[in-house]
Structure 1
Amino acid sequence: MKLYTKSGDRGTTSLFNGERVSKDNIRVTAYGTLDECNSALGVACSILSQEARSPSITKYKLDKLELLLDQLKYIQHRFFDLGAHLATPRVRSDESTLDKTRFEMEASNQLEEWIDDLQASLPPLTTFILPGGHPAAAHLHLARTTVRRAERISTALIEEEELDEAAYVFLNRVSDYFFAAARYANHIFDIEDVTWHKLS
Protein backbone atom coordinates (compact mmCIF):
# COMPACT_ATOMS: atom_id res chain seq x y z
CA MET A 1 0.00 0.00 0.00
CA LYS A 2 1.43 3.38 -1.01
CA LEU A 3 1.75 6.16 1.54
CA TYR A 4 0.18 8.65 -0.82
CA THR A 5 -3.34 8.12 -2.20
CA LYS A 6 -3.74 11.30 -4.31
CA SER A 7 -7.36 11.43 -3.14
CA GLY A 8 -6.71 14.73 -1.38
CA ASP A 9 -5.05 16.48 -4.28
CA ARG A 10 -8.09 18.69 -4.89
CA GLY A 11 -8.44 19.92 -1.30
CA THR A 12 -10.81 17.33 0.17
CA THR A 13 -10.41 14.47 2.62
CA SER A 14 -12.54 11.64 4.03
CA LEU A 15 -14.09 11.64 7.48
CA PHE A 16 -14.40 8.39 9.43
CA ASN A 17 -17.88 7.70 8.03
CA GLY A 18 -16.64 8.05 4.42
CA GLU A 19 -18.05 11.52 3.89
CA ARG A 20 -15.71 13.79 1.91
CA VAL A 21 -15.21 17.34 3.14
CA SER A 22 -12.91 20.28 2.49
CA LYS A 23 -9.57 20.13 4.28
CA ASP A 24 -10.46 23.37 6.05
CA ASN A 25 -13.62 21.77 7.52
CA ILE A 26 -13.91 22.44 11.24
CA ARG A 27 -13.62 18.73 12.07
CA VAL A 28 -10.43 18.36 10.03
CA THR A 29 -9.01 21.47 11.66
CA ALA A 30 -9.87 20.13 15.10
CA TYR A 31 -8.32 16.68 14.71
CA GLY A 32 -5.38 18.14 12.79
CA THR A 33 -4.69 20.44 15.73
CA LEU A 34 -4.95 17.45 18.06
CA ASP A 35 -2.34 15.71 15.89
CA GLU A 36 -0.06 18.72 16.32
CA CYS A 37 -0.48 18.41 20.07
CA ASN A 38 0.32 14.71 19.94
CA SER A 39 3.53 15.51 18.07
CA ALA A 40 4.62 17.98 20.76
CA LEU A 41 3.78 15.30 23.30
CA GLY A 42 5.92 12.83 21.37
CA VAL A 43 8.90 15.17 21.61
CA ALA A 44 8.41 15.47 25.38
CA CYS A 45 8.24 11.67 25.68
CA SER A 46 11.40 11.29 23.59
CA ILE A 47 13.29 13.72 25.82
CA LEU A 48 12.09 12.03 29.01
CA SER A 49 12.93 8.58 27.62
CA GLN A 50 16.44 9.76 26.87
CA GLU A 51 16.77 11.11 30.40
CA ALA A 52 15.56 7.76 31.77
CA ARG A 53 18.44 6.00 29.98
CA SER A 54 21.08 8.25 31.52
CA PRO A 55 23.59 6.17 33.53
CA SER A 56 23.68 8.85 36.22
CA ILE A 57 19.95 8.93 36.95
CA THR A 58 18.91 7.95 40.46
CA LYS A 59 16.22 5.35 41.12
CA TYR A 60 14.11 8.05 42.78
CA LYS A 61 14.11 10.18 39.63
CA LEU A 62 13.72 7.16 37.36
CA ASP A 63 10.57 6.05 39.19
CA LYS A 64 9.07 9.53 38.78
CA LEU A 65 10.10 9.67 35.12
CA GLU A 66 8.56 6.31 34.34
CA LEU A 67 5.34 7.33 36.07
CA LEU A 68 5.13 10.49 33.97
CA LEU A 69 6.00 8.64 30.77
CA ASP A 70 3.29 6.04 31.38
CA GLN A 71 0.73 8.81 31.79
CA LEU A 72 1.85 10.69 28.69
CA LYS A 73 1.77 7.54 26.56
CA TYR A 74 -1.76 6.82 27.81
CA ILE A 75 -2.76 10.30 26.62
CA GLN A 76 -1.15 9.74 23.22
CA HIS A 77 -3.37 6.70 22.71
CA ARG A 78 -6.45 8.58 23.90
CA PHE A 79 -5.65 11.31 21.38
CA PHE A 80 -6.03 8.74 18.61
CA ASP A 81 -9.41 7.72 20.09
CA LEU A 82 -10.42 11.37 20.28
CA GLY A 83 -9.23 12.01 16.73
CA ALA A 84 -11.51 9.25 15.46
CA HIS A 85 -14.37 10.78 17.45
CA LEU A 86 -13.70 14.23 16.00
CA ALA A 87 -13.57 12.73 12.50
CA THR A 88 -17.06 11.24 12.88
CA PRO A 89 -20.17 13.44 12.45
CA ARG A 90 -22.48 12.38 15.26
CA VAL A 91 -25.71 13.19 13.38
CA ARG A 92 -24.76 11.77 9.97
CA SER A 93 -23.16 8.43 10.85
CA ASP A 94 -24.72 5.01 11.33
CA GLU A 95 -24.86 3.34 14.75
CA SER A 96 -21.99 0.97 13.98
CA THR A 97 -19.66 3.88 13.16
CA LEU A 98 -20.81 5.82 16.21
CA ASP A 99 -20.18 2.81 18.46
CA LYS A 100 -16.62 2.48 17.15
CA THR A 101 -15.83 6.12 17.85
CA ARG A 102 -17.48 6.83 21.19
CA PHE A 103 -15.39 8.66 23.76
CA GLU A 104 -16.04 7.90 27.42
CA MET A 105 -15.76 10.12 30.52
CA GLU A 106 -13.43 7.53 32.10
CA ALA A 107 -10.44 9.15 30.40
CA SER A 108 -11.14 12.54 32.00
CA ASN A 109 -11.71 10.94 35.39
CA GLN A 110 -8.28 9.32 35.08
CA LEU A 111 -6.70 12.68 34.25
CA GLU A 112 -8.26 14.29 37.30
CA GLU A 113 -6.72 11.64 39.54
CA TRP A 114 -3.32 12.19 37.98
CA ILE A 115 -3.58 15.99 38.21
CA ASP A 116 -4.36 15.75 41.92
CA ASP A 117 -1.45 13.34 42.50
CA LEU A 118 1.04 15.50 40.60
CA GLN A 119 -0.13 18.68 42.29
CA ALA A 120 0.28 17.11 45.73
CA SER A 121 4.04 16.75 45.18
CA LEU A 122 4.56 20.28 43.81
CA PRO A 123 5.12 23.55 45.69
CA PRO A 124 2.06 25.82 45.61
CA LEU A 125 1.90 28.43 42.88
CA THR A 126 2.24 32.03 44.03
CA THR A 127 2.51 33.70 40.60
CA PHE A 128 2.00 32.99 36.92
CA ILE A 129 4.65 30.86 35.25
CA LEU A 130 6.09 30.98 31.76
CA PRO A 131 6.68 27.99 29.46
CA GLY A 132 10.22 26.79 29.98
CA GLY A 133 12.61 25.04 32.30
CA HIS A 134 13.54 21.52 31.29
CA PRO A 135 13.08 20.88 27.52
CA ALA A 136 10.43 18.24 28.28
CA ALA A 137 8.53 20.75 30.40
CA ALA A 138 8.70 23.34 27.61
CA HIS A 139 7.24 20.83 25.12
CA LEU A 140 4.48 19.91 27.57
CA HIS A 141 3.58 23.60 27.73
CA LEU A 142 3.53 23.60 23.92
CA ALA A 143 1.18 20.60 24.03
CA ARG A 144 -0.99 22.47 26.55
CA THR A 145 -1.42 25.53 24.37
CA THR A 146 -1.97 23.45 21.23
CA VAL A 147 -4.73 21.38 22.83
CA ARG A 148 -6.30 24.64 24.04
CA ARG A 149 -6.54 25.61 20.37
CA ALA A 150 -8.16 22.27 19.56
CA GLU A 151 -10.65 22.96 22.34
CA ARG A 152 -11.49 26.41 20.96
CA ILE A 153 -11.98 24.99 17.48
CA SER A 154 -14.21 22.21 18.85
CA THR A 155 -16.50 24.60 20.74
CA ALA A 156 -18.76 25.01 17.70
CA LEU A 157 -19.09 21.23 17.45
CA ILE A 158 -20.22 20.81 21.07
CA GLU A 159 -22.68 23.70 20.62
CA GLU A 160 -24.18 21.94 17.58
CA GLU A 161 -24.30 18.57 19.42
CA GLU A 162 -21.77 17.22 16.90
CA LEU A 163 -19.35 16.23 19.66
CA ASP A 164 -19.97 14.09 22.73
CA GLU A 165 -19.67 15.94 26.03
CA ALA A 166 -17.04 13.46 27.29
CA ALA A 167 -14.78 14.34 24.34
CA TYR A 168 -15.04 18.07 24.97
CA VAL A 169 -14.43 17.63 28.70
CA PHE A 170 -11.27 15.64 27.90
CA LEU A 171 -9.95 18.49 25.72
CA ASN A 172 -10.43 20.85 28.64
CA ARG A 173 -9.01 18.52 31.28
CA VAL A 174 -5.93 17.40 29.36
CA SER A 175 -4.65 20.97 29.10
CA ASP A 176 -4.84 21.19 32.90
CA TYR A 177 -2.96 17.91 33.08
CA PHE A 178 -0.20 19.21 30.78
CA PHE A 179 0.24 22.25 33.01
CA ALA A 180 0.70 20.03 36.06
CA ALA A 181 2.91 17.60 34.11
CA ALA A 182 5.18 20.41 32.88
CA ARG A 183 5.69 21.60 36.44
CA TYR A 184 6.26 18.00 37.55
CA ALA A 185 8.92 17.50 34.85
CA ASN A 186 10.78 20.54 36.16
CA HIS A 187 10.37 19.22 39.70
CA ILE A 188 11.92 15.85 38.77
CA PHE A 189 15.07 17.58 37.51
CA ASP A 190 15.22 20.13 40.33
CA ILE A 191 14.54 23.02 37.96
CA GLU A 192 12.45 25.93 39.18
CA ASP A 193 9.45 27.01 37.14
CA VAL A 194 10.06 30.16 35.10
CA THR A 195 8.03 32.80 36.90
CA TRP A 196 6.42 35.89 35.38
CA HIS A 197 7.68 39.28 36.54
CA LYS A 198 5.54 42.33 35.84
CA LEU A 199 7.33 45.37 34.50
CA SER A 200 7.23 48.12 37.11
Structure 2
Amino acid sequence: MVRLDVIMTRGGDGGETSLGDGSRVRKDALRVAAYGAVDEANAVIGVLRLRLAEAPAADAMLVRIQNDLFDLGADLCVPGTAEDRLRVSDRQCLRLEAELAEMNALVPPLRSFVLPGGSPGASFAHLARTVVRRAERDVVALMGEEAVNPAVLRYLNRLSDHLFVLSRHLNDNGARDVTWMPGASR
Protein backbone atom coordinates (compact mmCIF):
# COMPACT_ATOMS: atom_id res chain seq x y z
CA MET A 1 0.00 0.00 0.00
CA VAL A 2 2.67 2.52 1.04
CA ARG A 3 6.25 2.37 -0.18
CA LEU A 4 8.89 4.91 0.76
CA ASP A 5 12.22 4.20 -0.92
CA VAL A 6 13.75 7.65 -0.50
CA ILE A 7 13.32 9.76 2.62
CA MET A 8 15.75 12.58 1.84
CA THR A 9 14.53 14.17 -1.39
CA ARG A 10 15.76 17.75 -0.91
CA GLY A 11 12.40 18.79 -2.39
CA GLY A 12 11.60 20.96 0.61
CA ASP A 13 14.87 22.87 0.69
CA GLY A 14 13.18 25.89 -0.92
CA GLY A 15 10.44 26.08 1.72
CA GLU A 16 7.80 24.15 -0.20
CA THR A 17 6.31 20.68 0.20
CA SER A 18 4.08 18.42 -1.86
CA LEU A 19 0.50 17.72 -0.91
CA GLY A 20 -1.13 14.34 -1.46
CA ASP A 21 -2.44 15.41 -4.86
CA GLY A 22 1.07 16.38 -6.04
CA SER A 23 0.57 20.13 -5.82
CA ARG A 24 3.32 22.19 -4.19
CA VAL A 25 2.65 24.68 -1.37
CA ARG A 26 4.70 26.66 1.10
CA LYS A 27 5.56 24.78 4.28
CA ASP A 28 3.77 27.44 6.32
CA ALA A 29 0.47 26.95 4.44
CA LEU A 30 -2.60 26.46 6.64
CA ARG A 31 -3.10 22.92 5.33
CA VAL A 32 0.48 21.94 6.17
CA ALA A 33 0.15 23.51 9.64
CA ALA A 34 -3.06 21.54 10.24
CA TYR A 35 -1.69 18.13 9.31
CA GLY A 36 1.60 18.98 11.03
CA ALA A 37 -0.24 19.60 14.30
CA VAL A 38 -2.09 16.29 13.84
CA ASP A 39 1.27 14.58 13.35
CA GLU A 40 2.58 16.22 16.52
CA ALA A 41 -0.48 15.03 18.46
CA ASN A 42 0.17 11.52 17.19
CA ALA A 43 3.78 11.72 18.41
CA VAL A 44 2.69 12.86 21.89
CA ILE A 45 0.20 9.98 22.02
CA GLY A 46 3.11 7.69 21.20
CA VAL A 47 4.95 9.03 24.26
CA LEU A 48 1.77 8.62 26.35
CA ARG A 49 1.61 4.97 25.31
CA LEU A 50 5.02 4.42 26.91
CA ARG A 51 3.35 5.14 30.27
CA LEU A 52 0.56 2.59 29.90
CA ALA A 53 2.18 -0.77 30.67
CA GLU A 54 -0.49 -1.44 33.31
CA ALA A 55 -3.37 -0.15 31.17
CA PRO A 56 -3.64 -2.41 28.11
CA ALA A 57 -7.24 -1.34 27.32
CA ALA A 58 -6.20 2.32 27.22
CA ASP A 59 -3.18 1.44 25.09
CA ALA A 60 -5.41 -0.45 22.64
CA MET A 61 -7.64 2.63 22.30
CA LEU A 62 -4.59 4.80 21.64
CA VAL A 63 -3.27 2.42 18.95
CA ARG A 64 -6.59 2.84 17.13
CA ILE A 65 -6.43 6.60 17.64
CA GLN A 66 -2.89 6.79 16.25
CA ASN A 67 -4.06 4.98 13.12
CA ASP A 68 -7.06 7.31 12.89
CA LEU A 69 -4.71 10.29 13.13
CA PHE A 70 -2.72 8.96 10.18
CA ASP A 71 -6.02 8.66 8.29
CA LEU A 72 -6.82 12.22 9.33
CA GLY A 73 -3.43 13.45 8.11
CA ALA A 74 -4.00 11.65 4.79
CA ASP A 75 -7.40 13.33 4.56
CA LEU A 76 -5.93 16.78 5.26
CA CYS A 77 -2.99 16.43 2.88
CA VAL A 78 -5.32 16.16 -0.14
CA PRO A 79 -7.25 19.37 -0.86
CA GLY A 80 -11.01 19.15 -1.32
CA THR A 81 -13.50 16.62 -0.08
CA ALA A 82 -13.67 14.16 -2.99
CA GLU A 83 -14.51 10.68 -1.76
CA ASP A 84 -11.96 8.98 -4.02
CA ARG A 85 -9.29 9.54 -1.35
CA LEU A 86 -8.93 8.24 2.19
CA ARG A 87 -11.26 10.32 4.33
CA VAL A 88 -12.06 10.30 8.04
CA SER A 89 -15.60 9.10 8.68
CA ASP A 90 -18.22 9.71 11.32
CA ARG A 91 -17.88 6.03 12.25
CA GLN A 92 -14.46 6.84 13.71
CA CYS A 93 -16.01 9.71 15.69
CA LEU A 94 -18.76 7.44 16.99
CA ARG A 95 -16.19 4.93 18.25
CA LEU A 96 -14.44 7.73 20.16
CA GLU A 97 -17.78 8.80 21.65
CA ALA A 98 -18.52 5.25 22.81
CA GLU A 99 -15.08 4.87 24.42
CA LEU A 100 -15.40 8.27 26.04
CA ALA A 101 -18.83 7.43 27.48
CA GLU A 102 -17.54 4.12 28.84
CA MET A 103 -14.60 5.81 30.61
CA ASN A 104 -16.71 8.73 31.80
CA ALA A 105 -19.14 6.36 33.52
CA LEU A 106 -16.27 5.28 35.81
CA VAL A 107 -15.22 8.73 37.05
CA PRO A 108 -17.10 10.94 39.52
CA PRO A 109 -18.53 14.28 38.37
CA LEU A 110 -16.14 17.20 38.58
CA ARG A 111 -16.53 19.88 41.24
CA SER A 112 -13.62 21.94 39.91
CA PHE A 113 -11.42 22.19 36.85
CA VAL A 114 -8.65 19.60 36.64
CA LEU A 115 -5.01 20.64 36.41
CA PRO A 116 -2.66 18.55 34.28
CA GLY A 117 -0.95 16.08 36.59
CA GLY A 118 -1.65 13.33 39.06
CA SER A 119 0.12 10.46 37.33
CA PRO A 120 2.65 10.36 34.48
CA GLY A 121 0.09 8.83 32.12
CA ALA A 122 -2.53 11.45 32.97
CA SER A 123 0.03 14.22 32.49
CA PHE A 124 0.92 12.97 29.00
CA ALA A 125 -2.79 12.58 28.17
CA HIS A 126 -3.23 16.27 29.05
CA LEU A 127 -0.26 17.20 26.88
CA ALA A 128 -1.73 15.22 23.99
CA ARG A 129 -5.10 16.93 24.59
CA THR A 130 -3.55 20.39 24.29
CA VAL A 131 -1.77 19.48 21.06
CA VAL A 132 -5.04 18.08 19.65
CA ARG A 133 -6.74 21.38 20.59
CA ARG A 134 -4.08 23.25 18.60
CA ALA A 135 -4.64 20.93 15.64
CA GLU A 136 -8.34 21.66 15.96
CA ARG A 137 -7.67 25.42 15.82
CA ASP A 138 -5.43 24.92 12.78
CA VAL A 139 -8.19 22.95 11.02
CA VAL A 140 -10.72 25.69 11.80
CA ALA A 141 -8.35 28.26 10.26
CA LEU A 142 -7.97 26.04 7.19
CA MET A 143 -11.75 25.62 6.94
CA GLY A 144 -12.03 29.40 6.74
CA GLU A 145 -10.00 29.31 3.52
CA GLU A 146 -10.57 25.90 1.90
CA ALA A 147 -12.95 22.96 1.85
CA VAL A 148 -12.20 20.35 4.52
CA ASN A 149 -14.01 17.14 5.35
CA PRO A 150 -16.21 18.18 8.34
CA ALA A 151 -15.60 14.81 10.03
CA VAL A 152 -11.97 15.93 10.56
CA LEU A 153 -13.04 18.71 12.91
CA ARG A 154 -15.59 16.50 14.67
CA TYR A 155 -12.95 13.82 15.22
CA LEU A 156 -10.43 16.25 16.72
CA ASN A 157 -13.09 17.76 18.97
CA ARG A 158 -14.11 14.32 20.25
CA LEU A 159 -10.48 13.28 20.62
CA SER A 160 -9.61 16.17 22.93
CA ASP A 161 -12.58 15.24 25.15
CA HIS A 162 -11.53 11.58 24.98
CA LEU A 163 -8.00 12.44 26.11
CA PHE A 164 -9.34 14.54 29.00
CA VAL A 165 -11.51 11.70 30.26
CA LEU A 166 -8.65 9.26 29.66
CA SER A 167 -6.45 11.43 31.89
CA ARG A 168 -9.01 11.07 34.68
CA HIS A 169 -9.24 7.34 34.05
CA LEU A 170 -5.43 7.11 34.31
CA ASN A 171 -5.61 9.03 37.60
CA ASP A 172 -7.31 6.08 39.28
CA ASN A 173 -10.69 7.09 37.83
CA GLY A 174 -10.38 10.61 39.18
CA ALA A 175 -9.07 9.75 42.67
CA ARG A 176 -5.66 11.26 41.86
CA ASP A 177 -6.95 14.26 39.89
CA VAL A 178 -5.29 17.54 40.77
CA THR A 179 -8.03 20.14 40.97
CA TRP A 180 -7.84 23.88 40.54
CA MET A 181 -8.25 25.93 43.69
CA PRO A 182 -9.19 29.44 42.49
CA GLY A 183 -7.06 32.13 44.11
CA ALA A 184 -5.16 29.63 46.29
CA SER A 185 -1.78 31.23 45.63
CA ARG A 186 -2.71 34.91 46.01
TM more than 0.5: yes
Aligned residue number for residue 22 of structure 2: 18
Q: Residue 130 of structure 1 contacts residue 193 of structure 1 at CA under 8 Å; is this kept in 2?
A: yes
SS in 1 for 2:70: helix
Distance 1:10-1:131 versus aligned 2 partners, 3 A rule: same
Match of 1:122 among 107, 110, 120: 107
Match of 2:37 among 33, 38, 44: 33
SS in 1 for 2:17: strand
Q: Residue 41 of structure 1 contacts residue 72 of structure 1 at CA under 8 Å; is this kept in 2?
A: yes
Aligned residue number for residue 141 of structure 2: 156
Query: Which runs of 4 or more aligned residues in structure 1 lie more than 6 Å from their structure 2 counterparts after TM superposition?
Result: none
TM-score (norm 2): 0.91
SS in 2 for 1:21: strand
SS in 2 for 1:138: helix
CA–CA distance in structure 2, aligned partners of residues 23 and 83 of structure 1: 15
Is residue 44 from structure 1 mapped to residue 48 from structure 2 by the alignment?
A: yes
Aligned residue number for residue 174 of structure 1: 159
Aligned residue number for residue 143 of structure 1: 128
Residue 180 of structure 2 aligns with an amino acid whose one-letter code is: W
CA–CA distance in structure 2, aligned partners of residues 8 and 89 of structure 1: 19
Match of 2:64 among 70, 74, 89: 74
Aligned residue number for residue 196 of structure 1: 180
Q: Residue 88 of structure 1 contacts residue 101 of structure 1 at CA under 8 Å; is this kept in 2?
A: no
SS in 2 for 1:36: helix
CA–CA distance in structure 2, aligned partners of residues 159 and 173 of structure 1: 20
SS in 2 for 1:187: coil
CA–CA distance in structure 2, aligned partners of residues 33 and 153 of structure 1: 8
Residue 75 of structure 2 aligns with an amino acid whose one-letter code is: H
TM-score (norm 1): 0.85
Q: Residue 158 of structure 1 contacts residue 168 of structure 1 at CA under 8 Å; is this kept in 2?
A: no
Residue 158 of structure 1: CA displacement? 2.9
Q: How many residues align?
A: 180
Q: Residue 41 of structure 1 contacts residue 76 of structure 1 at CA under 8 Å; is this kept in 2?
A: yes
Residue 159 of structure 1: CA displacement? 3.8
Question: Which has the larger displacement, 98-107 or 127-136?
Answer: 98-107
Aligned residue number for residue 103 of structure 1: 88
Residue 157 of structure 1: CA displacement? 2.9
Distance 1:20-1:43 versus aligned 2 partners, 3 A rule: same
Residue 42 of structure 1 aligns with an amino acid whose one-letter code is: G
CA–CA distance in structure 2, aligned partners of residues 193 and 82 of structure 1: 31
Percent identity between the two aligned chains: 42
SS in 1 for 2:50: helix
CA–CA distance in structure 1, aligned partners of residues 76 and 107 of structure 2: 34
Match of 1:112 among 71, 83, 97: 97
Q: Which segments of 5 or more consecutive residues in structure 1 lack a partner in the other structure?
A: 53-64
Q: Which segments of 5 or more consecutive residues in structure 2 lack a partner in the other structure?
A: none
CA–CA distance in structure 1, aligned partners of residues 84 and 116 of structure 2: 38
